């Protein structure tokens, strides 16, 4: 099956989310339970941030803070870049590469979070094809 959109890739996959007021410990438990690398942070069903494993490690563990006291809102990446569910995988990969992040919240037409795309969700062959095309385009522009 050829995957043409993020929507196809996320079909049947539930969005795992956390509240900004949850503790980092609770969020880490969700990451572990679902074997995922990032959570959508929702407040009253509105996307307010993303909490990734990297956020937890860099902003939390490295600082030696207690996981049962710190709140998600203190560690998350606020106002994340998003992508529409009908967008192409190439568009998603480009956003992630330029932004230097590995997780991208997916939104619907109303702007509501409906999924989380990980760089590892994009097939390797597809990622290589997009990278080669971008390199070709960059080489042509600099010539």
Of residues 54 and 124, more confidence is placed in 54
**Span 96-137, pLDDT tens digits:** 999 999 999 999 999 999 999 998 888 777 767 777 777 777
d(CA 5, CA 85): 7
The token duo for 99 is 């932004």
Q: Other C-beta atoms within 10 Å of 105: how many?
A: 23
d(CA 5, CA 75): 31
Task: Give the pLDDT score at 123.
Answer: 75
Domains in the chain, start-ordered, CATH in brackets?
6-142 (3.10.580.10)
Given a cut of 80, whether residue 16 has pLDDT beyond it is yes
- The 10 Å CB-count burial string (b at 16+, else e) for 33-65 is eeeebbbbbbeeeebbbbbbbebbeebbeeeee
Cα 83 to Cα 74, 115, 117: the distances in Å are 24, 10, 9
């Amino acid at each position: 099956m050829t995957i043409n959109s993020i929507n196809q890739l996320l079909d049947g996959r539930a969005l795992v989310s956390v509240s900004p007021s949850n503790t980092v410990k609770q969020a880490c438990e969700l990451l572990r339970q679902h074997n995922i690398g990032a959570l959508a942070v929702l407040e009253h069903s509105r996307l307010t941030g993303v909490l990734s494993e990297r956020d937890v490690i860099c902003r939390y563990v490295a600082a030696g803070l207690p996981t049962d006291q710190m709140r998600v809102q203190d560690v998350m990446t606020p106002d994340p870049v998003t992508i529409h569910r009908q967008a192409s995988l190439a568009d998603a990969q480009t956003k992630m590469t330029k932004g230097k992040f590995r997780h991208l919240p997916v939104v619907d037409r109303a702007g509501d979070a409906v999924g989380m795309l990980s760089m590892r969700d994009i097939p390797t062959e597809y990622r290589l094809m997009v990278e080669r095309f971008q390199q070709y385009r960059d080489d042509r522009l600099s010539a």
